[in-house]
Amino acid sequence: YKQVAYAYSMPLGNQTISAISDGTVPQDLYQLLIGPSHSHIDNLLSKAFLANPVEASINAFVIRDGERIILVDTGSGELFGPGFGGKLYDSLASVGIKSEQVTDVLITHIHTDHTGGLVQNGKPAFPNATVHVGAPDLAFFLDAGNAKKTGYDDKYFAEAIKTIGV
């Protein structure tokens, strides 16, 4: 039994916008939410029939206007490990798009679940695309010294260098 890729497309004027799935990843809300007690988090989750950790969706978007194919974010790629994300390329195929057809990649911000799919097997996954990233994000995440200055986890800087720094 093969799991199908997830995509939802809708027209908007002369464009088609597709929301596509890169899969999911479990999120430990005890680590993510600073301040509330574990029991408070558990109480809120139980009201929604959920339990910690929760499955978080990793999504991206495609905008097609007949001339350009713009991918907004690239999911986590291989960076979260097998079974966690990494379904972007199948989802693109499910809406009829091959990686080499993507003309532009717009990165909303440099976090693993937005940039991990830029690289596949150590090579650019979208070889014909121009990648657009905000200058402040580039300056921050491509300087690994910022990890020590801010206390932000070293892995985010290493992953940014693997994906954006290619």
> Which of the four pLDDT bands, split at 50, 70 and 90, describes residue 112?
confident
What per-residue confidence (pLDDT) applies to 48? 96
Instruction: Give the residue-averaged pLDDT of 115-125.
Output: 91
Q: Which residues contact 18 (CB under 8 A, 6 or more apart)?
A: 7, 8, 9, 10, 61, 62, 64, 95
Cα distances (Å, whole numbers) of residue 65 to 18, 59, 69, 98, 132: 12, 20, 7, 16, 18
Please check the confidence at residue 117 and state whether its pLDDT lies above 90: yes
Contact 164, 133 (CB under 8 A): yes
What per-residue confidence (pLDDT) applies to 153? 83
Cα distances (Å, whole numbers) of residue 7 to 46, 68, 138: 29, 19, 29
pLDDT per residue as tens digits for the range 43-100: 999 999 999 999 999 999 999 999 999 999 999 988 887 888 889 999 999 999 999 9
Please check the confidence at residue 138 and state whether its pLDDT lies above 50: yes
pLDDT per residue as tens digits for the range 2-52: 555 588 889 999 999 999 999 999 999 999 898 999 999 999 999 999 999
What per-residue confidence (pLDDT) applies to 166? 52
Instruction: Give the residue-averaged pLDDT of 127-141.
Output: 93
Please check the confidence at residue 116 and state whether its pLDDT lies above 60: yes
> Which of the four pLDDT bands, split at 50, 70 and 90, describes residue 1?
very low
Contact 77, 125 (CB under 8 A): yes
What per-residue confidence (pLDDT) applies to 107? 96
